[in-house]
A and B are shown apart, each in its own frame.
Chain A
Amino acid sequence: MKKTFILLYAALTAALMVWGFYQAIYVAPDDALQGYVFRIIYYHVPSASVAFLFFAVSLLGSIGYLAWRRSRPEWAQISDAWALAGAEVGVVFCSVVLTTGPLWGRRAWGIWWTWDARLTTTLVLWLIYVSYLLLRRFAAGPQVQTYAAVLGIFGAIDVPIVYMSNRWWRTQHPAPVFGGSEGSGMAPSMAHVLLWNMLAWLCWGLLILVLRYQVERKRQQITEKEALDALQAHI
């Protein structure tokens, strides 16, 4: 039953990805100013949205771990697994943002990179969560999960700063398309393509998020069992 559901979900996700790609390349019109290269937005913006969402998952997981680490160890481990999965998959999507953005910028602005507020805060966000993953990978000792949770919470503070950066400061990055000032927005023929791609990347992201969570939970269970076996061997 579970396997059938996963296969059906994966098939639906694949269909959405194909549909989103078809819409982005063959259906969406060229932008009046930017022309064909504007189509990069259909992968760039959904990746940013999904990255933000998964960093929020990591934030909730980190808070859950800190809240339950003494009172409910099992819940704390589950929260920690979600925190790790959210951070790792968030970094994957943020990496997509940081590579597709400069590709678009090279054609639109003539430069690969500029130290403007939106780009810099996004790079800082990526660096914070990469350091979170490195901490978890290389640090040892019983406090690693606690340190990681604290770093995960501080890292998440950068998410609203990234989101608001091109509202608070004058930036080279384009003004917000949705939720921006008066006159912002997108032609319906482009907006529905963007929404299809957002849905497709969200489904894809959720699939790998849950996979990563399952792998981490399994690792926790193996580590716990080995620790128990080692204790029993001593008694």
Chain B
Amino acid sequence: MDQAAVLDHQFVAAAYCVTWAIQLSYLLWLGLKWRAQKRNAGSSPRNSH
């Protein structure tokens, strides 16, 4: 494989990895937010009435 083809592969791999990193980071953040919200709602003394 020549130098240009290797670079092409690296740039495509970088673009795909960055895409997934952004999407999965957001999903993780959303999951943590949802879990924290559920925990807070469950532990709130007002909810025990």
Contact = CB atoms under 8 A, between A and B. Distances in A.
Nearest to A36: B8
Contacts of A218: 34, 37-38, 41
A195 to B, nearest CB: 18
Interface in A77-130: 89, 92, 95-96, 99-100, 103-104, 106-107
A89 B12 CA distance: 23
A229 B49 CA distance: 11
Contacts of B41: 218, 222
Given A43-B16, A96-B23, A204-B23, A215 B11 contact: no
B8 A37 contact: yes
Given A103-B14, A226-B46, A208 B30 contact: yes
A157 interface: no
A136 interface: no
Nearest to A47: B19
Contacts of B14: 103
A137 B11 CA distance: 35
A215 B12 contact: no
B34 A103 contact: no
A222 B23 contact: no
Interface string B5-49: 101110110111011001100110010011001101100101000
Contacts of B22: 92, 95-96, 99
A225 B46 contact: yes
B19 to A, nearest CB: 5
Interface of A: 21, 25, 35-37, 39-40, 43-44, 47, 89, 92, 95-96, 99-100, 103-104, 106-107, 204, 208, 211-212, 214-215, 218-219, 222, 225-226, 229
Closest 7 CB pairs of A and B: A36-B8, A37-B8, A100-B15, A40-B15, A103-B15, A92-B26, A229-B46
18 contacts: A25-B12, A35-B4, A35-B5, A36-B5, A36-B12, A89-B26, A96-B18, A100-B18, A104-B11, A107-B11, A208-B23, A215-B30, A215-B37, A218-B34, A219-B37, A222-B37, A222-B40, A222-B44
